[in-house]
Structure 1
């Protein structure tokens, strides 16, 4: 209890590991569970059926587990699930899910979430992603592992952002962003392969070369999307190992895209 500031208000039914630190004037509701090693800063409100994993760092002035900003929400027992080792900076808002989807807003592990970020109902966010200041994810958005969303960027509901994609500053994202691709501008345009990010993750020159081939087929050829998908599939007979797994990541994403991809 010495780790919990005396001004914090924690419902007796909340489940906090004994190692959790809670700052001054924070309010934690009855259905909240927080894992070992996590730190909650002062002046936070954590409510709803919210599960927070281990070793998270949640800074001051955050609203976590609030009701969805969806007029259809009628108080159903939906959830917010946050993984491990996430850094959440100031003034962020994370909402519960809705029964119109799976009923869960889900955030993975090792994400870096900067100030004033909004994560709406039913978002599915992977791991190792970065959301810069004032990034806004509308309902039902999916964000892949290692994706980067630039500051002041708005992402339309139901959009999917692929693994290792990078979205530039102040973008309006209304279509799906394929894996490995860098996009920016308004209207949004695909620019290139996220080579810098891939090199930082120790992708080999051979793997990056295959990803560049996929980019060329999607964006630098005269093919339709259907033709480009077929040509990307044909690359599997020419490659192997990790390159094949990168091809599968791209093909799986394109097969699941529902809003059309950024072109």
Structure 2
């Protein structure tokens, strides 16, 4: 066990042998820290939070009551193999959140980026790769093997099907089921999620240039057209166009032409 002298640990907390507690950590009443857990500097665990498994929690994270971080996958194929969860810096993990370790078949690691906000009862399943500044609203859930880009917002009570990729800057509305890949900067809504345009509010908030937003609008229109051509073929044609001079449009083209285990939500 390695506990930095500056860490503050409530007498009722359970720190199992082998755990590593960094400088400035604060661990509240009735928390549990497992034997293979590493907490970086200034991690805060409020009362009744649990971090277990082979789990790394990055600097400055805050974990709220009844969160359960690093438990084994909720996957019938899991056979007890030793797998990991790696959580980046400055994430706020609210009440009742669950994040599971990976599986051998999925690469063995679940990974969460920096500066995320995971609201009450949200769930990150095994083998997910979650980017930076992601917001998961109350009771939203990622199934196994999902890939979520930076700056994504997933609305409350929404679910994402296993193996789905969600591109950077996407917003998913509340009470939405996402069953197919979502292009970067898309807006998804409806009970059975549909691609309903671009996340214009998010683009403007991030200060994206008007020329790039115009280019994205034109690209979305091009992806709608081309009767008889597949979605990937339309994206390929868009990528071959000499008119493309926007890195945002190029990102969409590369996303659509990338490897995927799912189909795509296509513009309507």
TM bracket, shorter-chain basis:
over 0.9
Return 5+ residue gaps in structure 1 as ranges. none
> Quick check: 1:259 aligned with 2:262?
yes
Matches within 5 A, 1:1-263: 3-219=8-224, 222=227, 224-235=230-241, 237-240=242-245, 243=246, 245-255=247-257, 256-263=259-266
Which is further off, 2-11 or 50-59?
A: 2-11
Secondary structure of the equivalent of 2:104? coil
Cα RMSD of the aligned pairs, angstroms, is 1.4
Tell me if structure 2 keeps the 8 A contact 1:111–1:130.
yes
Q: TM-score, normalised by structure 2?
A: 0.92
Q: CA deviation at 1:125?
A: 0.2
Q: What TM-score do you get using the length of structure 1 for normalisation? A: 0.94
Once the two structures are TM-superposed, the CA of residue 238 in structure 1 deviates from its matched residue by 2.4
SS where residue 72 of structure 1 aligns? coil
Using the TM superposition, give the Cα deviation of residue 220 of structure 1 relative to its aligned residue in structure 2, in angstroms.
5.6
Of stretches 253-262 and 167-176 in structure 1, the one that deviates more from structure 2 is 253-262
Equivalenced residue count is 259
What secondary structure does 2:8 align onto? coil
Q: Secondary structure at the match of 1:100?
A: helix
Q: Larger deviation: 167-176 or 249-258?
A: 249-258
